[in-house]
Amino acid sequence: MALAQSPRGPPGDPMTSLLITDIGELVTNDPQWASAGQSAGQSADVARLGLVRNAALVVEAGRVAWIGPASLAPQADSQRSVAGRAVIPGFVDSHTHLVFAGDRAGEFAARMAGTAYDGGGIATTVAATRGASDEELRALLTARMAELRRQGTTTVEIKSGYGLSMDDELRLLRLAAEVTPHVTFLGAHVVPTEYAADRAAYVDLVTGPMLAAVVEQGAAAYVDVFCEPRSAHAFTEEEARAILLAGRSAGLGLRVHGNQLGPGPGVRLACELGAVSVDHCTYLDSDDVAALAESGTVATLLPGVEFSTRHPYPDARRLLDAGVQVALATDCNPGTCYTSSMPFVIALAVRELRMTPAEALYAATAGSAATLGLRGRIAVGEPADLAVLDAPSHVHLAYRPGVPLASALLG
């Protein structure tokens, strides 16, 4: 069924108000509505979604101006019925590597036949990306951004990391900044092959001139490092510490790829240094879980990676039960997880990580938003970053896996 649109005003015109009505289930993630759910006897995970049934909302100048029952909705310049569908906060994909050229389908096929992932394939993507022009990379990135929006993602973090030279890292950061304000410097993705014989020189480059140029150009808000002593290509604890400390001193927020391929120091290092997020968290011991629970660091789970590498899924229940803040993201990249679909990630989180549908949706919106300093909620005054589901309830995201139910609602 098509979305009905009244002819009273131009839809999406920033100067006019738009009433979105006939919302069967509005997910707000707003504590104000959550308390109503609690008193109505909803379980804590569902109550936290702050559901409003038979709802409407008004958007004005790109922000939410009113929320409430459809029967009480005010007049607006134009009106749009979503005919009983669910409306949710747009997904926040807080971990992607969207600026790259080429693909590694052959590596994926070999992995499905038993070859282990060790990060060595990143060099293939670095070579393809260095060889691509700005125009080629911009076209690929623009197409990927449109693909994300079509699936309900309205906020995206993008890392560099397939340049690994001063000029190429800055180029990837500039391209990323054309499409999102949430940009992360990942010069420490792997040691590039030309530095294989002198890793220390590459760490010096990343922590010295490369970082200085990134900061001088205001090219990134965060620094990230692939801390994985099990991979010959990635960074040891000592190297990762130097990179994170340099980034922190330069005023950047910290993000970490940690504990992806096996137990390791990444999670504890991230917590110790006050990273906003440590991502993957696939192999955790009890000290890691305790460190996360005591810190303000969010554990960002990327179950599309385990799907695509045949590693075991992270233990989300253990984290949630310990009171750790959990986020979900895609990690969209050509090596370990070539999907841009947050609904797919939610379905995996529910089926394989044993999160409830409500926990998974919260983690893919408010949870991931928190790592970017955002709220990921639908509330008066917040940006109107909305997604609509071609379904009456958020539960359908996991209940109907693989069905393209979600899309960005405006713009």
Residues at the interface with Fe ion (CB under 5 A): 331
Dihedrals phi, psi of 333, to nearest 5 degrees: -160, 160
CB hemisphere CA count around 14 (13 angstroms): 6
Each residue of 12-46: b (16+ CB within 10 Å) or e?
eeeebbbbbbbbbbbbbbbeebbeebeeeebeebb
Rg of the chain on CA atoms, in Å: 21
Residue 295 binds which entry of ligand NIG, Fe ion, none, CB below 5-8 Å type-dependent = none
Residue 260, classed as helix, strand or coil, is coil
Q: How far is CA 85 from CA 279, 386, 392, in A?
A: 32, 13, 5
Decide: is 304 part of the binding site for ligand NIG (CB under 6 A).
Answer: no
Residue 121 binds which entry of ligand NIG, Fe ion, none, CB below 5-8 Å type-dependent = ligand NIG
Q: Is the CB of 21 or the CB of 129 nearer to ligand NIG? A: 129
**Nearest partner of 52 among 21, 92, 75, 17, judged by Cα:** 21
109: left (phi over 0), alpha (psi -120 to 50) or beta: alpha
Q: Applying CB under 6 A, which of residues 157, 331, 382, 385 lies at the interface with ligand NIG?
A: 331
Residue nearest to ligand NIG (CB): 335
Name the minimum Å distance from CB 93 to Fe ion: 11
Q: Applying CB under 6 A, which of residues 336, 340, 365, 368 lies at the interface with ligand NIG?
A: 336
Decide: is 247 part of the binding site for ligand NIG (CB under 6 A).
Answer: no
Decide: is 226 part of the binding site for ligand NIG (CB under 6 A).
Answer: yes
Name the minimum Å distance from CB 224 to Fe ion: 8
Name the minimum Å distance from CB 42 to ligand NIG: 35
Name the minimum Å distance from CB 318 to ligand NIG: 21
Place of tokens 């052959």: 106
Contact pattern for ligand NIG over residues 99 through 128, marking x by CB under 6 A? --------------------x-xx--x---
Q: Cβ(30)–Cβ(379) under 8 Å?
A: yes
Name the minimum Å distance from CB 195 to ligand NIG: 17
Task: Name the residues that contact ligand NIG, by CB under 6 A.
Answer: 119, 121-122, 125, 226, 257, 260, 305, 331, 333-336
